[in-house]
Amino acid sequence: MYQNRKRTKKRHGIVLFVTLALLMVLTAIVTNFLEKQSKIKEYRINETAKINNIQILSGMVSFLKGLQLDEEMIFYGSKIPVNLFLSNQEILVTFNSSQYGININSLIKAMKEKPVVYDLLLEYFRQKELKYPEFFINLLQDTIDKDSFGINTDETEIILTQPNFHNGTIKNRTHLNEIINYYFLAKSDANIYKVEFEKMFTFDTNFIDINLASQEVIDFIFYDADNFTKKEIFEKEEIFEKLDELPFDDNYKNKIKKGVLGQNITVHSTAIKLNIKVQDKEFSFNYTLGKNSSVYNIEIY
C-alpha cells in the first residue's frame, strides 16, 4: 500500500512538472501573439493583422499537435495557475478543460422540456443578488430563439433595438457581455457584473467533464443529489476514469448517463481552454485534442 502511494505521488510530481513546462512554452507563444497584436493595433494594418494571426496560430497548432495531454495532466495542470514575468510584464497563465462548465445554450434550450431549469437559474441569479433575475433569464431566452418576439415583453428582445445583434445562439463570452451590458442599461443593476459567468458557463460543447467541474457547477447540475456526495466529487484527489466510479447509486448513475439539463456528463476531455492575462489584456483560446486538433474560439478582451 505504501509503495502504491509513493508511486502515485511520484506520478503526480511528474505530471505537475511536465504541465508547468508546457504552460511556460505556451506562454511564450501567446505572448508573441499579444505583442504582435499590440503593434498591429498601433499601426492599424488590418491585412497584416490577418496574415500574422494566421501564421502564429498555424505555428501554435503545429506545436500543440506534438503534445499528448491526457485527463490526468489536465486535472492537475488546471490547479496550478502560473505567474511569469516577461518583458517587465506580469503574465498569469491558466488552463482547464473546455468542458469544465455548463453550456448556456443547451441549458436554455432544455428549459422548454424541463421547467426545473428555469427554477434553478432563478435561484442561481438570486444567490448572486440580481435585482431582476427573471428579466435576465428572459434576455437569455430571447437571444437563444431566432424570432423577434419577446417572451414576456419586447424589452427583452435585444435585436429590436440593436438590428446587428446576433440571435439564435450565444456565441462566446464577448456576445454574452453584450447581453450583460444590455441588462445593466435597462435595469441599472450593477450586481450583474459580480456574477462570474466565465467560471460557470461555456458555449461550445454540451459535455461536462466532471473531473474538472467546480463545486458550483456540480451543485447546479446534480441539483437533486445530496450535498455530501456532491462535495465528495469535487474534493476528490484522483480523477474518475469511468462514470460508474461516481459515488451515486446505480439509479442515479443511469439517469445522468442519459444526460442532465441538456448536458452530457463525461470523465474525459476532448478540448482544453488556455487563458492568459497580461496587465489589463486577456487572451483565451480553445484547442481540441486528438488527430484532427485545431485552435478555435479565440478571444481578446
Q: What is the DSSP string of 262-278?
A: TBEEES--SEEEEEEEE
Instruction: Work out the average pLDDT over 39-44.
Output: 49
- Residue 60 predicted with pLDDT over 60: no
pTM of the model: 0.79
Instruction: Work out the average pLDDT over 64-85.
Output: 73
Nearest-angstrom CA–CA distance, 103 and 239 = 22
Q: At what angle do helices 133-144 and 173-187 cross, to 10 degrees?
A: 140
Amino acid at 225: A
pLDDT at 72: 82
List beta partners, residue 265.
Answer: 208
Contact yes or no for 170/179 (Cβ under 8 A)? yes
Q: Which residue has the cell 510530481?
A: 13
pLDDT tens track for 264-284: 999 998 888 877 777 777 777
Q: Which helix (H) or strand (E) holds 281?
A: strand 281-288
Q: Strand, coil or helix: what is 142?
A: helix
pLDDT at 66: 61
CA 235 from centroid of its chain's CA atoms = 20
